[in-house]
Structure 1
Amino acid sequence: MKKDGFQTTIEVKYRDTDSMGHVSSPVYYDYLQHAYLGYMFDVLQIPKTEKLPHIMVKTSCEYTQPAMYGDMLTVNSRVTRFGSKSFDMEHIMRRNDEAQTIVAKGASTHVMFDYASNSTTVVPEQFKQQVAAYQGE
């Protein structure tokens, strides 16, 4: 695991673009979620058929450069903060060009969740340790 984060590669599809030919703003949230899921299933080493022990409760995205149909993007995702019941992630989206141009900066907040009791839970120390080891911290 590299310190700059878990890497997800995404090819921009034609359907991802708007009338100007840019990736449409809501599509970046799909990229963010795809990267988050890839990160979490990899760090937790659980089958993709299982539910993750947390839910996404907040997202944001800052668009810095347009991405276009045919671009290859790499999303670097990493956990940046732990709270008592939540954690934050950043998702830096770069075009795979010579300059590794940042096209968007996303952020997400996740809350630990127990589906059986339908309630939030404390972030387990084991999860914090798994993330720290995974991110090389």
Structure 2
Amino acid sequence: MKVGDKKLVYTVTIPIRWGDMDAMGHVNNTVYFQYMEQARIEWLAMMGCLPDENGNGAVIVNAHCTFKKPLKYPGQVEVCTYISNMGRTSFETTQEMRSVGDGYSLYAEGGAKVVWVDAVTEKSVVLPEVIKQTFAEFKSEQKRRR
């Protein structure tokens, strides 16, 4: 994926907690997924897209992470969330995790495929308008730049 094919939608700084570390003295691999989840959920909440009264909402169908360098306590991690590859019922998130205290060096990158699901039927449904609009605005910006 080219850099221009994704839209930065949210950035958050998360403090690294003592309990995030493992026996090796660095942040446990599973915690990176928690950092990505926290950023993704905060963005969805900001967009007003948490599960609705019927329980319809975002479901992760796959997630991945590539670890570049180990994060360590104490510190802060900046998580940048991008969206791309929007379809009728799903989109991709890509996330970068950078150490605030290390010149914002890239420590990990990952992401997830998000599908919007009807909680009763457990089938995919059309994405909320606000998410589709965010991506449509991005596509319009790209066309104007060309």
TM over 0.5: yes
Asked whether 1:129 is paired with 2:133, we answer yes
Q: Mapping of 1:107-122 within 5 angstroms?
A: 107-122=111-126
Q: Deviations over 1:7-45 (max 9, x none)?
A: 1211111111111211111111111111110111112x2
Q: Which runs of 5+ in 2 are unaligned?
A: 1-6, 142-146
Q: Which consecutive segments of 4 or more residues in structure 1 shift more than 4 A?
A: 46-52, 131-137
Aligned to 1:57: 61
Structure-2 change in CA distance of 1:126 and 1:8 (3 Å): closer
User: Residue 8 of structure 1 is aligned with which of 12, 17, 28?
Assistant: 12
Distance 2:18 2:112 in 1: 26
1:131 Cα deviation from its structure 2 partner = 4.3
* Coordinate RMSD, CA, aligned: 2.7
| 2:13/2:79 contact within 8 Å kept | yes
Contact 2:49 2:57 in 1 (8 A): no
Query: Structure 1 108/47 Cα, relative in aligned 2: closer, same or farther at 3 Å?
Result: closer
Find the residue that maps to 1:97 and give its secondary structure.
Answer: helix
Instruction: Provide the TM-score with structure 2 as the length reference.
Output: 0.78
Using the size of structure 1 for normalisation, the TM-score is 0.83
Which segments of 5 or more consecutive residues in structure 1 lack a partner in the other structure?
none
Matches within 5 A, 1:44-123: 45=48, 51=55, 53-123=57-127
Whole-angstrom CA distance in 1 between matches of 2:88 and 2:40: 20
Whichever of the two has the greater Rg, that structure is: 2
CA deviation map 1:65-118 (0-9, x unaligned) = 110011111100021211232110011001003521111101100111112332
Pair 1:52–1:14, CA change in 2 (3 A): farther
Contact 2:96 2:108 in 1 (8 A): yes
SS at match of 1:127: helix
Relative to its length, the structure with more helix (as a share) is 2
Q: CA deviation at 1:124?
A: 5.0
